[in-house]
A and B are shown apart, each in its own frame.
Chain A
Amino acid sequence: MSIKTNADKIVCVSVMGQIASPSFPGLPAQPYSLDSNGRPYLMPAYGGIVYNVSVGDSAYGWLADNVHPGVSISLKDDNGNRGLNILACVGNTAIVMSGDAKGTRGVVTGKSGRFSEHVIIHFDKASREKMAIGDKIVIRSQGVGMDLLDHSNIMLKSCSPELLEGLEVTTGSDGRLNVPVVATVPPHLLGAGAGLTSEGGSLHIQSADRDALKEAGLDNLRLGDVVALADYDSSWNHGYFRGAIGIGVVGQGDSQRSGYGPGVTLIMTSASGGINPVVSPGVNLSDVFTLNP
């Protein structure tokens, strides 16, 4: 059964970004970050063209800090970048507009938050080889404004019509929206991103306590996995609220920093528990969109 939406009325508009360079603070700052035990580390972080990590790969184990699979874009102008970060929706088509990969199409798979604010795009690995930092990429953004007509207690965020269709959600006999997810994140393991905007950016699963992570069944997450967020209301910012529930996709890899871990891009939220997460193994964007490796 298809879920009724106002998708025929939502506007499709261009937002542009350029492939972002990785960046570090200038001298005399240390290049190191501190892990949750206070040990300094120096590893690749967000941004750039990541040649060997893709949606579908593990979210853990990479020697990187919140690695973005595929290609990250941003715009130097802050307001323009906000437009990009808010209007781009997971599942939107991205088209390379300059450089040797001109004309190549990709799919938006996530967003990053405070201190980076990138949009993360999947392109097949062969196309990534042809891309250059600074290449212009236009996203046909569509999704902001979309509502579920029979579920007024659910808000969609960063969710394209294609994603909603591909997730195979259904309405249960209790009126709630059944959403397949690989796992549910308990609120004590949600960290960085709380109190920040839910229209873009990321909310991070905390991974410093590996036993707690395992206990919650979150230690095998893959990039692109769809997860539920328990007792979190993301209607207006992300925050704790009993009975609320959110749905997100794992957009970024793990981090060694305290309060951080895999970054989640929120796609729907219900303050009054109108979402029923149904645990089903393997719900991942790589299958939802049949992403080319």
Chain B
Amino acid sequence: MTLRTNEAQLVEMAVMGNISQPSLRYPGYTLDMNGVGRVLPGMSGIVYNARVGDPAFGWSGDHVEPGVSIANPDSGAEYALHYLTCIGNRAVVTSGLAKGAEGIVTGEHARLLIDFPSDANDLLCVGDAIQIFAYGRGLQLLDFPQIELKKCSPKLIHGIPMEVVDGKLRVPVTMVLPPRIMGSGAELNSEYVDQDIMSGDRALMAELGIDQMRLGDVVVIPDADHRWGRGYRKGAVTIALCIHGDSVMTGHGPGILTLMSTPDSCIEWVIDPSANIANYLNIREVL
């Protein structure tokens, strides 16, 4: 079923960033939940062996950003990159050996995250320019004006097999996240990056099956209102996307990016283990 949107009115425009270099503050320790200093890779750069569809947990890394991470050195252009880019947007390499290669935006962390086929990854260099066809800002579901969409491209909205049942939008998700474990990122506006799951209670992660989460999973957070910031509100519903991997830091964990949020109960969900953007955006087939 096709959801009615205002996409015919959306403006598509270019934003760009450069492939980032991982950076560490000497001596690079991150404290884990036991106060032990760890040095771990994961953020920035080209991550060759973690991709959307892979597990979010279990890496010997921290905040692993799948695929290629890009940023713009100019502060204003950087915010444009963050605020205009949507999940599912097309990205094209515009310099270097991989010039012309095409990728897909799969997340937004402190940098924008893009999936390229692995043969393109092999040719990419830190600093290479990547242009994004930003398209989706302003998108609305015409039959659900109370739902605030964030970072959803029309391609993503039409790729997720949603249904309208008894006047409610039914969205497939892999799992339900309780609001009490939503942590770092609560201090930010909800147009910017993500909010981490607080995964420190490992036994709880296993009990609830959250430790089975994959990068790219679509999930639901009941009683979370992410329309204007990220906070607790009974009855609200937020649909979100796992964009980066787990963390050893207290109050951190896999990153959850807001896709849709409503203050009322017009969104319902159905558990579907295949609810992953790797499937929805035809990146690769997972489960």
Contact = CB atoms under 8 A, between A and B. Distances in A.
Interface string A36-78: 1110000000000000000000000000000000000000000
A240 B230 CA distance: 16
A188 B232 contact: yes
B250 interface: yes
A236 B190 contact: no
- For the residues of A in contact with B, the DSSP-based class is loop
Contacts of A236: 31-35, 249-250
Interface in A98-152: 113-115
Chain B contact surface mostly: loop
Interface string B166-195: 000000000000111111111101100000
Interface in A202-246: 204, 206, 208-209, 211-212, 231, 233-242
A37 B198 contact: no
A237 B249 contact: yes
A195 B196 contact: yes
Contact-size category for A: 35 or more
Given A36-B225, A242-B204, A195 B232 contact: no
Nearest to A114: B187
Given A113-B187, A192-B186, A194-B183, A239 B200 contact: yes
Contact of B183 (A115, A234, A240): A240
B198 A209 contact: no
B48 interface: no
A157 interface: no
Interface stretch (A9-17, A89-97, A168-176, A253-261): A253-261
A196 B251 contact: yes
A209 B234 contact: yes
A36 B228 contact: yes
A193 interface: yes
A191 B180 CA distance: 9
Interface string B207-239: 000000000000000010111111111100000
A115 B187 CA distance: 9
Nearest to A39: B228
Contacts of A239: 33, 183, 198, 200, 249-252
Contacts of B201: 240-242
B231 A195 contact: no
Interface of B: 31-35, 178-187, 189-190, 196, 198, 200-201, 203-204, 223, 225-234, 249-252, 263
Given A36-B228, A258-B230, A260-B187, 20 more contacts: A36-B233, A37-B263, A186-B180, A187-B181, A188-B232, A191-B187, A191-B230, A191-B232, A192-B186, A195-B185, A206-B186, A209-B233, A231-B180, A233-B33, A237-B31, A240-B251, A258-B226, A258-B229, A260-B229, A260-B231
Interface of A: 34-38, 113-115, 186-189, 191-196, 204, 206, 208-209, 211-212, 231, 233-242, 257-260
